Structure 1
Amino acid sequence: MEASKVSSGGDTTLCNASTRGWLSVAAVSFGTFALVTSELMPIGLLPKIAAGVRAVEGNVGLTITIPGLVAAFAAPALIVASRRLDRRGLLWLTTTMLIFSNLIVASAARLSTLLAGRVLLGIAIGGFWAIGAAVARRLVPPESAGRATALVFSGISAGTVIGLPAGTLLGELCGWRIAFSGAATLGGIALAAQLCLLPRLAATDAVGLRQLPAVARIPRARVALVAVALVIGGHFMAYTYLASFLEQRAAVSPGVVSAVFLAYGLAGLAGNTIAGELVQRDVRRVLTGAGLLVAATILLLSLVGSRPLIAIALVIIWGFGFGAVPVSLQTLMFMAAPALQEGGSALFVSTFQLALASGAFLGGLAVSSGGITVATLLGGAAVLTMPATIWIFGKSVSPR
């Protein structure tokens, strides 16, 4: 009788711990959603922001570029600076930065103030992403690590599907300053959840300046970082100008383009969820398959995308394939350097953000010199080199 009571009590304790762990992962994921929403918010509001701070749209476009570039350098810097700090404290700090960055942007009267707020956001993005996925994996049992990583990365798709359209609509109805105030509110909710739910999380490995190049010296880690650069750079070379492609090449109306982006994001959520279940079995196959699917759809879009229905279908398939990419890349990095997960995450974030900014920049050059179709074709070709790299050089990259 007594044994049964003890067993029952132990099961209850384990159940409560498991529930709290998943709630903590959800709090981190909501922080991801708030970050992505804040980072993408200017895309739909550039004309209004430009008018509000009396600047040309081309200069206001720096609000998109700057956070990515700052995040690329902030990720390793913050990891090294906070090498022995409680990881939940770093999450609290970066989420607080997110809140203040949006409040600065919402109150900005000049472009310089606006960009200062976006610099602060870049620091928040770098620090949060460098430890977010690694922390999530520690909050659940090892066999659920893939699902936890997928849940954190689902904030990317949710920010695209829900955050960006909602922020654009709020900005249209109430003004762009209210939209950024709303993003600050999202950050406040995320911070409150993290304060209530996150347990103490000691640094697993004291990341010093010597450990970052140590990660890069691991052959599997180098393969993972090259894969990140190729697929993310190629993706954003084409994706940055997708709306223009749909309107100009496929003759899709602006109203329908918004619906297409919504469908893209929903498909991305599905791809993210499925990949989260599969990456623990064989991340190499999942990443290779996702890369081939993304490359094929982008290349087909550049070749036969003049037909609206075909273009829309290809974009939705593209979203499904790319939804599996971030969680697969991050898992690949974890497996490549299991003893240096935070250092690996810092280099992952830096490479990701630099590839994003470089891809968008090179895509712009391609559009200026050869047109949108050229940018799409080059982006698809760049993505195609990723699965080839993984398959040729990454045969030992996915221990099961």
Structure 2
Amino acid sequence: MLTFEGFSGINNVQPELRLSGRDLLQARDVDIGLTGEVMRRLGLTQASEDCHKNLWRASGFMLATIGTQLTAIHPDGTRRVIHPALGTERVWYCNLPDGRTTFTNGLIQGVTDGMVGTQRSLPVPESLGAVDMARGELHPGPYRYHLSYVRLADMLEGPTASSEMVMVAEGGLRLDGLPEREGCAVNVYLSGKDGEGAYLAGTVAGGSFEFRGNNAALVLPCRTLGAQAFPVGTITAFWRGRVLVAQDDVLWASRPMAPHLADWRDFKSLGAPITAIQPVDDGVYVGTSQELVFLAGTEWEQLAYVPTKRGPVVLGSGVEAPGHRLQLGDGTGSGQAMLCIAGGEVVAGFSGGQTSSLTANRYRTTVSEVCATFRELPGGIPQYLAVPQ
């Protein structure tokens, strides 16, 4: 048995001749205790002979891809197919405060509560139908009408399609040939006279709609006017009521408390492909293939770009971690923090944009993509795990 009077860690940076008897070049199948003690890692118990990929701990269930199927696995062993053909590529997840989890592989995205999977967003209606006049009580003049899909299962409403100005001469409006979508109805909105605003005129499940009411009946405003369906991306995170997602080198944010919608202006270009998104209390760390940056602030519109000069960030290496479990100077940090691999080193990021390399001058890696997590072993031993992909 190999024993150490004092183990100082793994060191693959210094030449082997300069290593002391307390250093190791590598260590396999071992855990390191809080005082540097080396222990044999606990064994594994096989739970299934099937290949499970893209594992994720959601709220009360686990997600995994088995073959091409995205499957929810519950604590009692029950399994439910969430998406029948998500494919074999890497899947990115995000846990929402309401207990649901979003998933995306860069081409297909959705959301699940562990029981069923639904589309993340609804599209803009494909057409506006045909306009005809009807008798009614609207003030004669120019109006616009707007259409949006609303999903009957959960009443989720998608972005709107808007018409050009329509002259209403006889006080009413009839629409024929409205778009139809399985599982959805269509909300019809009318503007006030002269085209301002959008107010609910009615909901229709067929291809025709007629409004004969007066202007005073138009009171409920459209909440999705001007929005677009949430962009399909990869790395996803939840931050201050918004969902953030990476689309190559662009960081998108959803509307507040509306993870299925985005506004065209709510994006930030990072200048290089995004490899990590990790929020902290007063900002967001974003890793790219060129650098680790800190977007400082608590409002999306006011986030300030702060470079950390830590180097390129490994794809998939960013994880949330408790600050009090991470070294900062001679002590530990506090609050919400993060870990990632930047510039070949394991780097901790704290509120305020303060970063600390946990492996400087001792350990470097050249891995290009990992699947990472942070966990605490019995006894409060913190571990950062990064499995090469």
For Structure 1 versus Structure 2, the TM-score category normalised by the shorter chain is under 0.3
Query: Scaled by the length of structure 1, what TM-score is found?
Result: 0.21
Q: Kindly indicate which of the two structures has a greater share of residues assigned to strand.
A: 2
TM-score of the aligned structures, taking structure 2 as reference length = 0.22
Structure with larger RCO (C-alpha < 8 A, sep 6+): 1
